[in-house]
Structure 1
């Protein structure tokens, strides 16, 4: 509420300048690329702990959207999308006329200005005062002025546990990320600032969601700034994995094909599996980790009954 009050106080003193554009993007199934045959290189990937919205030098920022854009912003929600919509209240307009996103759709909001500062996340989120916007502006081909920021809203599947490693489910979210980024490379050195998409209440595995976004962005030729946020152990693993991809000159096709062979029951993480498949002799193995997507923080291997069950299927 304080963020919205701040917005109205701000525009009382000075009305925002420029335009706001909300674009609904659709890409039909026959337009999806054949990732399995792609020889495009994995683009530059920079790993950080900083918040997505602090990268003012880069235009494309991720919105880890609910399929109903805005999610729970008007009834108590306080995670990534909801925070984004209250510090940039012009985004709320999209909720008036954007229908529920279909499997082949994403939404781009260009020109939304930030009015509030905040700290924390979820239950610890707090309003920290008015934000002084210094973001650059640009003119589009029609001569309209926009703040140099485009919010890329794309929804991940709700996927707890091992069902998210089903091939069709993995392909669905790769395609969803690709739809969001298709046609968004406006400069030769375009970056998409993103992070742990679908890894909160949606239950996504962080390594899986990172690889899916790498495939989609690299296929479109867009670089990544990837925020691991407060997940320091994951940040270290991700940096090691990115270094491996770069040193082995891995292509989109290689990354995609090896991701799709990830077994449902395994002691390897997604990163470890891909490294093993590409170079079994590689010594650059990310640190083994407990699954950060499992309910209550348990891995399948932590539960004796499931351990026995997995051994049965392995035999």
Structure 2
């Protein structure tokens, strides 16, 4: 989606733009065309792009598209070009009647801020907006300034010392298969990350297999998530299965999960970025960074409107390209879920470093600690743990956790 980003709490549909009639002239014939070729589709998309950019750039955008389409199986290619593309053109040209308004609310930080904001789309409205995006028709932004209010939210750690730990369940499946649970999106601070540009790790993969999530980029990625903010998305459906990760990622065919996923909630929470430099990675053991991560996860699982008593399905949050320590992050998420009164289902994706997470839970239970006890131990001894967290299992962590709060050294 091609957009400018001035300060505004809403955007206009392209129907209010003086260029809309040009887009309509390009797309209207496509609505009834059932024999579109790959080269013709490229020309259609280039024509749309030429309305707002130079011809040479428009040509560059889509030059590889025909070759990709010719690689599809004949049946899939015929359906896409003869059925899907005309239907998308129809929905794009009827966007205003489908949405029922000329504007779309943005999830922006309102001046004076502090409230929860919600944007709702029906599946049909979502498909129409995604159809606009497919053809590259840009939304229209009103003029405005770039001022943003930034309210501060306090996190009450006093609750830590009254709450018992929640339960941890270790799972070997994938987070998106945890139907009925709150499912973590290991997000970029700009929602969607590289889903529409580059990158193909946990968040981008989720957006590719659940394309309705792309609308969150439209309404929510104008401002990056602040340390006190999270987002949750309800009802986005997975349409395709997949194999691989990053460079090995590949869609593996249609999957019908509509009935099972209508009640699923995606919890969007961004971790701090510690790059692969060892000096920078070590800063994650700084107490202020530890508190930030616990705070972020706690905010994410206590958002207004989330169903109570439903566990969080999560895993190695911020531990891939963001360089986080999965042993530390697993404990921090556990602390946050415990304060929130939610169980945690942990999906390690085969990472042996967190294979014994349950052992830490057992130690905490045997010692009778509250959440506050465990949090205090982490903050007290974390400087000494910086190198020990990198071990292959939780041996040193468990040893450290059994040290009393009397100040006994490790």
Q: What's the TM-score, normalizing by structure 1?
A: 0.73
Q: More displaced, 258-267 or 89-98?
A: 258-267
Distance 1:66 1:221 in 2: 26
Which structure has more helix as a fraction of its residues?
Answer: 2
Distance 2:268 2:235 in 1: 14
Q: CA deviation at 1:268?
A: 2.9
Match of 1:261 among 360, 364, 380: 380
Query: Which position in structure 1 is the counterpart of 2:94?
Result: none
Corresponding residue of 1:34: 157
- The within-5 A match list for 1:76-155 is 76-98=198-220, 99-136=223-260, 147-155=262-270
Could you tell me which of 347, 352, 356 is aligned with 1:227? Answer: 347
CA distance in 2, matches of 1:155, 1:109: 14
> In structure 1, the residue corresponding to 2:321 is in which secondary structure?
coil
Q: Structure 1 264/279 Cα, relative in aligned 2: closer, same or farther at 3 Å?
A: closer
- Alignment-derived partner of residue 328 in structure 2: 208
Give secondary structure in 2 for the equivalent of 1:226: strand
- Whose strand fraction is larger, Structure 1's or Structure 2's? 1
Q: Match of 2:61?
A: none
SS at structure 1 position matched to 2:355: helix
Q: Give the C-alpha shift of residue 97 in structure 1.
A: 2.0
Deviations 1:32-68 (A, max 9, x none): 121575220110110112110011132x100000000
Counterpart residue number, 1:238: 357
Q: How does 1:286-305 map to 2 (within 5 A)?
A: none
Deviations 1:157-184 (A, max 9, x none): 1124211101111111111111111146
The reply to whether residue 56 of structure 1 matches residue 206 of structure 2 is no
Deviation at 1:88, TM superposition (A): 0.5
**Paired position in structure 2 for 1:158:** 273
Q: Counterparts of 2:161 and 2:362 in 1: how far apart (Å)?
A: 20
Q: Which runs of 5 or more residues in structure 2 are unaligned?
A: 1-67, 70-76, 92-104, 116-150, 275-279, 405-410
Structure with larger Rg = 2
Q: CA deviation at 1:243?
A: 2.3
User: Structure 2 vs 1, CA of residues 115 and 22 (structure 1 numbering), >3 Å: closer, same or farther?
Assistant: farther
For residue 22 of structure 1, report the CA deviation from its aligned partner.
9.5
Aligned match of 1:312: none
